[in-house]
Each structure stands twice: as C-alpha cells, then as structure tokens.
Amino acid sequence: MTPPPPILEDSDAEALRLQLARVFLRKMSTHAPLTEAEADVLLAMPVRPRRIAARAPILLEGATSDGAYVLLEGHAYRFKLLADGSRQILSFHLPGDVIDLDSALLGVSDHGLAALTAVHVAQLPHDAILAAVAAHRGIARAFWRETLVEAAIFREWLLNLGRRDAYARVAHLLCEMAVRAEAAGVGRADRFELPATQSELADATGMTPVHVNRTLQRLRGDGLVETRGSEVRIANWRGLVDAGGFDPTYLHLNAGD
C-alpha cells in the first residue's frame, strides 16, 4: 500500500523532525493541548518530505492520495476549475497548515492543490493519521479542530464573494493574510509576504486580474497598503479593517474560541 519513505541521511531526517516540531507541532498545539506523548507520536509519524517548484501542482482534482500534506515552507493554494477553464482559488496556505486533510476520510479529492512559491511539504500517511487519531484524543481534537477552523474560513470567504464589493473583498483578503501570517510566525501583521500574482488574487476573490489591479491601486491611493514585489505592507491597519469589514473571530486563533 504505502510506498516506503525515501531514505534520508540522518542529518536530513533530524532537520525534518525539527521543522515538523517548529511548524506543525506549533500549529496543532494551538488547537488542543497535547501531552508530551502525543507530541512524540506526531513527530514520530513516518513522513515523506517532498519539494515542489513554484506554481507546480501538488495534487490534482479527482486524484486520490495516500497521505495528507503538512506545509513546512512556502505558500500553497487550493483551487477548483470550471469547464470553461476559469479557476476559483479556495484558500491560501501558510507553513503549519495541514492542507489535504480531506483525503484522509473522503477519498477522491474534489479540488486541486498547487504551490504558489517553491514549497517544502511533509506527507503524513493516512493510516498513520488515523491510527494517531484513534489512539490519542488530543491529536483527534487537533485534527478535527483544524478542519473546523478551515470550514470557518470558507464561510467567511463565502460572505466575501457573495456580499462584499471588489474593494472590500481585496481589503478583507489582505487583512486575513496579515493576521494569519503573523499567527503562523512567517511575518508581521503589518508586513508580510503574499506571493500571489494579481491573476491569482483575482481567482481568489472572484474578480478579473484587471479589476484586481485597479482595486489595489485604489487601496494604495487611499493610503491603506503598499506593495513591493510580493511583500505587502499595511500602512493603515484600521482603515483596511474598516474597508474590508474584517473581524478576525472566524479565524479562531485562540484555542478557546
């Protein structure tokens, strides 16, 4: 069934474990208090590391996989395609996110997964996930809560696409990515990397690239944000929050709420 994990130099294996601890354990701990034994179980999982080039697919819609991906480095996104070729980006992902957890219980993937930048992922075999979940309630809670928070983010995006205009949509997306970047430890709320092209931002916000461009110009002109390459600097947090109607409750960043 599961192909054996590739052979790693001891030093590589050690580096991978450290990265898992720093990125993955950190994220899981925000969901549920983990006992030391549970943390050890997570770190001892037989992960398969994999590097993917920027813009390359990680998993295609309709495919099955035998493991879920933990994003260790880089940015990734999930998407769906329409028959006419148009694309909807469903979510952006930062280090620590478990991206393909659906596949653990759902079989055929109903969406695609791709790298935004060069990406380093670790694949957790489904059987290892299910075994860990069955044996440890803290791990079960953490995975379940990861799914619940993800669903909450989808709900907020539904509101964004369904009821906010272009200006608010882009502002809201920037607010979310700012807060999540800081929470993931890969940036600050007022200065972070968002390595998405305007086309990709368009596919995330249900707009066209041209209109994303004009909208960003307005946001810059209004003194709310500045961009330099893929770096976003938020010049007026309060103004951006107002513009986007942003309320971070739905991110459920505190284990309690």
- Please give, one letter per residue, the 3-state secondary structure of 177-188: HHHHHHHHCCEE
User: Closest Cα to residue 39, out of 139, 131, 154?
Assistant: 139
Which of DNA, its own copies, none binds 57 (CB below 5-8 Å, type-dependent)? none
CA 26 from centroid of its chain's CA atoms: 14
Among DNA, its own copies, none, partner that 163 touches (CB below 5 to 8 angstroms by kind): its own copies
Residue 83 interacts with its own copies (CB under 8 A)?
Answer: yes
Adjacent-strand bridge partners of 98: 70
Stretch that binds its own copies, among 43-51, 117-125, 200-208, 219-227 (CB under 8 A): 200-208
Q: Which stretch binds DNA (CB under 7 A): 62-70, 93-101, 198-206, 236-244?
A: 198-206
CB of 148 to its own copies, least distance (A): 5
The alpha carbon dihedral of 190, 227, 221, 216 has a sign of negative
Strand order in the sheet with 67-73: 48-52, 119-125, 67-73
Does residue 94 belong to the site contacting DNA (CB under 7 A)? no
**Nearest residue to 87 (alpha-carbon basis) of 108, 60, 106, 51:** 60
159 forms part of the interface with DNA (CB under 7 A): no
DSSP state for residue 7 in the 8-state scheme: P
Coil vs helix vs strand at 80: strand
Q: With binding defined as CB under 7 A, does residue 166 bind DNA?
A: yes
Judged by CB under 7 A, the chain residues 101 through 130 that form the site for DNA are: none
Q: Which residue(s) pair with 78 in the sheet?
A: 91, 113
Q: Which residues bind its own copies (CB under 8 A)?
A: 31, 62, 78, 80, 82-83, 86-88, 90, 101-102, 105-108, 110-111, 133-134, 137, 140-141, 143-145, 147-152, 154-159, 161-164, 203, 205-206, 245, 249-250, 252, 254, 256-257
Q: Which residues bind DNA (CB under 7 A)?
A: 165-167, 197-199, 206-211, 213-214, 216-217, 229
